[in-house]
A and B are shown apart, each in its own frame.
Chain A
């Protein structure tokens, strides 16, 4: 397919701008010629072709609205359309972030109430909505931990991260100069308590833990884990990526965690946008409140206002208040569901995952044969006997009209296939998916070459990633 630049015809246009109403514009009277740009190489495309181009591009893409998207750890649940409509209200889209407080009471109210909702859902004392994404919230969380110890004049340089953790955990820690110490998993896929005890000391800020963990399993020993860390004056950070399974059933704050980052684009239904924008609020208990980014939104009687007066705050992690447009969607979702609806969502996400796990168990090697939470992890062990890998299976699923599950994560399961159906999928969808997975399992035995060279029905076959990395072509040049 051609690029937009290849469709450019000089003289064509998709836009009409009014003439100047302040008389003829003579730019060289406002700017010396030496500062004016000579060439502006942007494409000139007529509106018909422009619309067709981007429409065609959309048709070469695949979202939750097009089909089942069982990406483990990503919570690809259905994004309600009412969210989109509310986020498009001009009362929200046309307000300037530096408006006077009195002019944006509705926005500040939404912001404040969303914080309250998230506090209640997670069991923490305060929430900051400023971070723009999960990884951003994570980095913010680690900064908060650093500030906490600096305030106590304690020099701690290490952080503990389980070997099953998501790559953002050590990356976020490195962003704050901490050295990662990897904690082993036990045979059950949970944190190895002995290894934790051995490595937790006064040089360590604490532990970053995903719960349920990246295998979709709830850490049974969470109380002991928090005790071990707290005993040495450390903090326990919850990677809240898997919050969906806990909604209304259990709260990380109650489990003993000191802080959490949430992903509004996961558990709270805001759309993934093809890779953003998201929103990554951070929840903290009393210990960390003073360090939260500014401004905080306060309520004085019936008036909401922004408060920048927090001496110990770490400052800002982005401009203004955070991704407000995304918050409106999450707020709308929580108001639609209420506490009962959130609990049902969480419970059914776990039901759907266990249902799939039981149905697929005879055909695919199950990494840990026990009740899972909202996602389950298989491996390609059975299919490797025929020379077929997890990657091949993922590509073959594309041919059947599905998006592949998460593959090769977590790293502690070789050839991991992580399936998270979410609660918004019907039984019919799940049953059809199982049928296809069984079909593919059979193909692995009887026609392995077909699977190994998949996908066959996409617009492109497997792409040459090696060439792309050896000789990167990152922009179009005529």
Chain B
């Protein structure tokens, strides 16, 4: 059972979450996503300084049976990455919304945030996906 989606975060259709703090956003993948992926064995973090583009690949998460792209929820520049995931990718499984954050991005276009879903919409979106 996936954890409840925190109300203070925004969400993408590709199961990334975003915490907005002024010009800086922190992002990661949702608990729903980590459950689907099962135990992560590796996280390929983006390089600090990388220019991101909304919906383009930012990082890669790898489990034993699958590899998934993590897409940038916003355009901007990566200013920090969660290096603890390199040694312990399982942190994402344990605490996807907290300690399992992946990167912090300084956004270039705040209008893009309007394209993201709120917690309720995302929860409904996941329920729809499950039915398929």
Tell me if B39 counts as interface (CB < 8 A to partner A): yes
B64 within 8 A of A: yes
Chain A residues within 8 Å of B42, by CB: 469-470
Q: Which residues of B contact A469 (CB under 8 A)?
A: 41-42, 62, 64
A470 to B85, CA, bound (A): 11
Which residues of chain A come closer than 8 Å to B39, judged between CB atoms? 466
Asked if B89 is an interface residue, CB under 8 A from chain A, the answer is yes
Kindly report which residue of chain A lies nearest to residue B62, judged by CB atoms.
A469
CA–CA, A466 to B42, complex, Å? 10
Interface status of A41 (Cβ within 8 A of chain B): no
Chain B residues, CB < 8 A from A470: 41-42, 89-90
Residue A103 at the B interface, CB < 8 A? no
B39, B41, B90: which has the most chain A beta carbons within 10 Å? B41
CA A159 to CA B39, docked complex, whole Å: 33
Measured between alpha carbons, how far is A29 from B39 in the docked complex, in Å? 58
**CB of A21 closer than 8 Å to a CB of B:** no
- Name the A residues within 8 Å of B64 (CB-CB): 465-466, 469
Interface residues of A in 437-478 (CB under 8 A from B): 465-466, 469-470
Query: Which residues 76-119 of B sit at the A interface, judged by CB distance below 8 A?
Result: 89-90
Chain B's nearest CB lies how many Å from the CB of A93?
41
Which residues from chain A contact B62 at a C-beta distance below 8 Å? 469
1/0 contact string of A426-437 vs chain B (CB within 8 Å): 000000000000
Q: How close is A465's CB to chain B, nearest CB, in angstroms?
A: 4
Determine the distance from Cα of A469 to Cα of B64 in the docked complex, in whole angstroms: 7
Label chain A's interface by main secondary structure. helix
Q: How many contacts A-B (CB < 8 Å)?
A: 12
Residue of B nearest to A467 (CB): B41
Smallest CB separation, B91 vs chain A (Å): 12
CB distance from B68 to the nearest CB of A (A): 14
How far is B11's CA from A376's CA once the two chains are assembled, in angstroms?
41
CA distance A271 to B46 in the complex (A): 44
Q: In the complex, which residue of chain B has the Cβ closest to the Cβ of A408?
A: B65
Q: How far is the CB of A238 from chain B (nearest CB, A)?
A: 28
Q: For residues 308 through 355 of chain A, which have their beta carbon under 8 Å from a beta carbon of chain B?
A: none
Expressed in whole angstroms, the Cα–Cα distance for A465 and B38 within the complex equals: 12
Residues of B contacting A466 in the complex (Cβ-Cβ under 8 angstroms)? 39, 41, 64
User: Which residues of A lie under 8 Å from residue B90 when comparing CB positions?
Assistant: 470
Interface residues of A in 218-273 (CB under 8 A from B): none
**Bound Cα distance from A470 to B90, whole angstroms:** 9
In the complex, A470→B42 CA distance in Å?
7
**Bound-complex Cα distance A466 to B88 (A):** 12
Complex: how many Å from CA A429 to CA B105? 61
Instruction: Considering the complex, give the chain A residue whose CB is closest to the CB of B38.
Output: A466
Residues of chain A within 8 A of B41, CB atoms compared: 466, 469-470
| Chain B residues with CB under 8 A of A465 | 64
Q: A469 — nearest CB in chain B belongs to which residue?
A: B41
A394 to nearest B CB, angstroms? 14
Q: How far is the CB of B45 from chain A (nearest CB, A)?
A: 16
Q: In the bound complex, what is the Cα–Cα distance between A470 and B40 (angstroms)?
A: 8
State in angstroms the CA–CA spacing of A469 and B40 once bound together. 9
CA separation between A469 and B62, bound complex, in Å? 9
Closest CB in chain A relative to B90 CB, distance in Å: 8
Once the chains are docked, how many angstroms separate the CA of A469 from the CA of B41? Answer: 6
Give min CB distance, B55 to chain A, whole Å.
17
Question: Which A residues are CB-close (under 8 A) to B89?
Answer: 470
With CB as the reference atom, state the residue of chain B lying closest to A472: B41
Give Cα distance in the complex from A465 to B62, angstroms: 13
The residue on A at minimum CB distance from B89 is A470
Measured in the bound complex, the distance between the Cα atoms of B90 and A469 in whole Å is 12
A389 → chain B, closest Cβ, in Å?
12
CA distance A465 to B64 in the complex (A): 7
In Å, the complex CA distance between A470 and B43 comes to 10
A470 to B63, CA, bound (A): 9
Assembly CA distance A465 to B41 (angstroms): 9
How far, in whole Å, are A433 and B2 apart by their CA atoms in the complex?
40
- Cα–Cα, bound, A469→B89 (Å): 11
Within B31-78, the residues touching A (CB, 8 Å) are 39, 41-42, 62, 64
B15-41 vs A, CB cutoff 8 Å, 1 = contact: the mask equals 000000000000000000000000101
Cα of A216 to Cα of B41 in the assembled complex, Å = 34
Query: How far, in angstroms, from A427 to B42 measured CA to CA in the complex?
Result: 47
Minimum distance in angstroms from B100 CB to a CB of chain A: 15
Q: How far is the CB of A467 from chain B (nearest CB, A)?
A: 9
- Please give me the residue from chain A that is nearest to B41 by CB atom: A469
Expressed in whole angstroms, the Cα–Cα distance for A466 and B90 within the complex equals 10
Q: How far is the CB of B43 from chain A (nearest CB, A)?
A: 11
A469 to B61, CA, bound (A): 13
Q: How far is the CA of A470 from the CA of B64 in the complex (A)?
A: 9
- Contacts A466-B41, A469-B42, A470-B42 known; list 9 others, CB within 8 Å: A465-B64, A466-B39, A466-B64, A469-B41, A469-B62, A469-B64, A470-B41, A470-B89, A470-B90
In the A-B complex, list the 3 residue pairs whose CB atoms are closest, starting with the nearest.
A469-B41, A465-B64, A466-B39
Q: Mind listing 12 A-B residue pairs with CB under 8 Å?
A: A465-B64, A466-B39, A466-B41, A466-B64, A469-B41, A469-B42, A469-B62, A469-B64, A470-B41, A470-B42, A470-B89, A470-B90
